[in-house]
Amino acid sequence: MKAAARLRGTLRVRILLAWARLRRLTRNKNVRAIGAAVATLVVLTSLRAYDPRIVTELKERTFDAYQRLQPRPYIDLPVRIVDIDEASIAEYGQWPWPRTRLAALTRRLAELGAGVIAYDVIFSEPDRTTPGRLANDLKDSGAPDLDLTMKLLESLPDHDRAFADAIGKASVVLGFAASNAANDKRPPVRAGLAFVGVKPTRVLAPFHGTVSSLPLLNEAAAGVGGINLSSRDRAGVVRRVPMLFSDGSSIYPGLAIEALRVAQNQKGIIVRGTGSSGDSDTGHAALIDMRVGAFKLPLTSNGESRVYFSRNRPERYVSVKDVLDPAKEAAVKPRIDGAIVLVGASAAGLMDSRATPLGELVPGVSIQAQLIEQIIAQDFIERPDWTNGLEIVLTVVFGALVAGLVLAFGARFSFYAGGVVFVTAVAGSWIAFSHFRLLIDPIFPSLAALATYIAVERVLHVASDSEKKFVRQAFGQYLAPELLAQLENSPQAMRLGGESRDISVMFMDVRGFTPISEALTATELVDFINMLLAPLSDAIQDELGTIDKYIGDSIMAFWNAPVNVADHPTRACRAALKMRDAVNALNDSDAFGFAARGFKDPRVRIGVGINAGSACVGNMGSLRRFNYSAMGDVVNVAARIESASKGLNADLLVSEDVARQVKGIALLEAGEIPLKGKSRPTKIYAIAGDEVMAASPEFAEWSRMHNVLLAAIAAGHAREAAAALASCREAAGQDMLDFYQHFADQIAALGTAPVQQPAPAGKLAHQ
């Protein structure tokens, strides 16, 4: 039982430790930023894989822009549109025309040498003008000579039959439209089909009915092809045309393919799909390409072809009016002879206009003509199935790259780098289109990179704001504003948990604080402490020091943490001098009111000790309550030096380590103090003044005499020491008079010479 209890206890402790580690990890802003980047990329990659309409439309608009920038160059190929235009409508009357006129048009095109005639028109109803239909309409009219009229009409040729006869004597392809409205109307299949790989019926979406020309006409035609445009194209812009149609059992070619087949006198077409030789079967049934006679064209996975448009050119068009005008045969025949001729309408009233990616409105028949042109020219734009995978990979790579740049180099550099990535992606996509006719989308991966950038930058920004708030809360009262701003901008300079740094440490204490506190009430004592510590704290912060803590009437401060401070020992000494000046100013103005109240000694005095060396600095305490502080021998020595200042009658003392590092501060050796754990006493120095004093000839003489004093005391020469002491007192200012009392006591202890009393303050050499 005890073993089981111990095991449960151990397991509980491990779980708590793991949970604590996890919490610490999630508090790291970089970890949170990486999490935001991963979440953003997962969402965007899933969106790209699902490929909703908004994503598809974004890609298509990009590819449309590419076509507008570089449309397919127009080449005068043997493809013509015989146009039912406004001039033809004006000449022959409104549409639909009698089938006899269409029969005449068909015969005329055959006479002019058309290789194949493809009607982009469906003749699904009998001709209303055929004589037989007119006879039925007149049957009950009661017109005079009705019987004779009806016999005459019935003896006239049937218009549909006349059109069928013309079709049968020429190479004509008729169109049909696949429909989802179910019916049993099916055009005849004229083209044979051979397939390699997947069976096309597994890929093609089946239609359920058709709108087709009259059986009489279909039977006479050399071919029948679908004229539908792609249902996947949105916003009215035509980009793709189905090449194959299926009702689930039979397969029909599109009008353009059927026209090419008949023009080449081919019996069938060949379709290649996944699983064919040289193409692995990925498990996703898809079509790859197809061949019609000498021409091969790529297919989308569902059997469509992307149209690479050229500008709408008048050279493609020949008006029906000109074709039927014998006077224009010389001009028309060279354009029709041997050409694939598509008959369609451009007249505005016939409502057969389509928008292209080039921003043009063209007749529907023009799309079929351009499709045939690009097949003959073998100039295609392609979007193979692997481009989807490539774009998904680019989405992840771009997003991860930008996230890494933000984390490594910051938001500004990453923004510019992201711009370079975007330009590179667009440039690569454009090169793929302009040189290889490949459609690769650069926009979604770039937008994914932008979204990842925003997500990571926002997380880091919020984290930085939190860090700045934390820094301001933790250090706002203890750091100079310029240091606080530096720490806010670089919070990593404050490594939580402690780090070893070379610092300068200061301890300050009020001399004779106990008598002062006994003479004041609690409220007065607080006011006194606040009035004294405020300017002393300002002096420390003016020299970029960090105030560690207030301990009653004492201050602990240090330099060079949490951020770097150049020449920190020198700055610490300057701060001590400013603190001395601040206390003197308060005393001179009786700011504390001690003189007014008749205190025996109204002047407040402080003692300062400064040491420099390596210490451990960092946040110490718990997550709920902590203090940024320093620990180590350098701190203890600084405290001992401050304590020694009272016995040495010196208000500002520094260690030998500080004395070796300071630049330009006027220092005088004060003696030695024993330290616990040290084999020999440590020299300490008094701060006599700032850089101006240190550079003066007066201080040079004073320092020389001070060294003479020390040497005489060390040698036991009381008279010589007394003379040097007198000279030092003459040179010293008011602040250093008490300092020399310590040396006077040492000379007196020698017992061989009287010691000269200090001169009046008005006769001091340094004021």
Write out the DSSP string of 113-136. T-SEEEE-S---S--TTSHHHHHH
CA–CA dist 454, 413 (Å, integer): 14
Q: What is the dihedral of CA 641, 646, 652, 658, to 10 degrees?
A: -20
Closest alpha carbon to 553 in 590, 581, 525, 589: 525
pLDDT for 8 equals 60
Q: What is the pLDDT of residue 600?
A: 86
> Residue 583 CB: number of other CB atoms within 10 A?
23
Least confident span in 152-166, 515-529, 539-553, 582-596: 152-166
Give the neighbor-by-neighbor strand order of the sheet with 268-273. Answer: 192-196, 268-273, 287-292, 295-298
**Which residues 6+ apart lie within 8 Å of 68 measured at CB?**
357, 358, 359
Q: How many CB atoms lie within 10 A of CB 592?
A: 21
pLDDT band at 496, cuts 50/70/90?
very low
Region class of 497: left (phi > 0), else alpha (psi between -120 and 50), else beta: left
The reported pLDDT for the residue numbered 515 is: 87
User: Which is more confident, 498 or 176?
Assistant: 176
User: What integer pLDDT is reported at residue 614 of this predicted model?
Assistant: 94
Average pLDDT score over residue span 500-523: 91
**Arithmetic mean of pLDDT, 618-647:** 81
500: nearest Cα among 641, 625, 658, 613: 613
**Total length of the chain:** 767
Of 81-95, 426-440, 625-639, the least confident:
625-639
150 or 208: which carries more pLDDT confidence?
208
Q: Which residue has the higher pLDDT, 498 or 173?
A: 173
Q: Which fold has domain 500-691?
A: Alpha-Beta Plaits (3.30.70)
When mean pLDDT is compared across 194-198, 409-413, 606-610, the lowest value belongs to: 409-413
DSSP category for residue 350: G
Strands (E), 679-766: 682-689
Query: Is pLDDT above 70 for 340?
Result: yes
**Across the chain, what does the average pLDDT equal?**
86
Q: Assess whether pLDDT exceeds 80 at residue 153.
A: no
Helix (H) or strand (E) holding 225: strand 223-226
Contacts 24+ apart (CB under 8 A), 325-333: 329/112, 332/112, 333/112, 333/113
How confident is the model at residue 622, as a pLDDT?
Answer: 59
Query: What CA–CA distance (Å, rounded) separates 185 from 108?
Result: 31
| Distance in Å from the first CA to the final CA of the chain | 83
Per the CB < 8 A criterion, the answer to whether 729 and 759 are in contact is yes
Burial track 254-288 (b if 16+ CB lie within 10 A, e otherwise): bbbbbbbbbbeebeebbbbbbbbeebeeeeebbbb
Per-residue pLDDT at 759: 45
**Residue 471: pLDDT band with limits 50, 70, 90:** low
CB contact burial 61-99 (16+ within 10 A = b; e otherwise): ebbbebbeeebbeeeebbbbbbbbbeebbeebeeebbbb
Please tell me the pTM assigned to this model: 0.66
Question: Does the pLDDT of residue 88 top 80, yes or no?
Answer: yes
Q: Which of 156-160, 212-216, 522-526, 618-622 has the highest mean pLDDT?
A: 212-216
* pLDDT of res. 555: 94
- Per-residue pLDDT band for 463 (boundaries 50, 70, 90) equals confident
Judged by average pLDDT, the poorest of 2-16, 180-194, 734-748 is: 2-16
Task: Judge whether residue 152 has pLDDT over 90.
Answer: no
For residue 116, name the pLDDT band (cuts at 50, 70, 90).
Answer: very high
Q: How far apart are CA 277 and CA 288, in angstroms?
A: 12
pLDDT over 80 at 270, yes or no: yes
| Whether residue 81 has pLDDT greater than 80 | yes
Structure tokens that stand for 124 in this block? 């699904």
- Given a cut of 80, whether residue 483 has pLDDT beyond it is no
Domain ranges of the chain: 33-72+390-475, 79-138+155-377, 500-691, 696-767
Measured from the Cβ of residue 739, the count of other Cβ atoms closer than 10 Å reads: 22
If one compares 145 and 554, the residue with the highest pLDDT of the two is: 554
- Percent of the chain as helix, strand, coil, to the nearest 5: 50, 20, 30
Sequence-distant (6+) residues with CB within 8 A of 43 are none
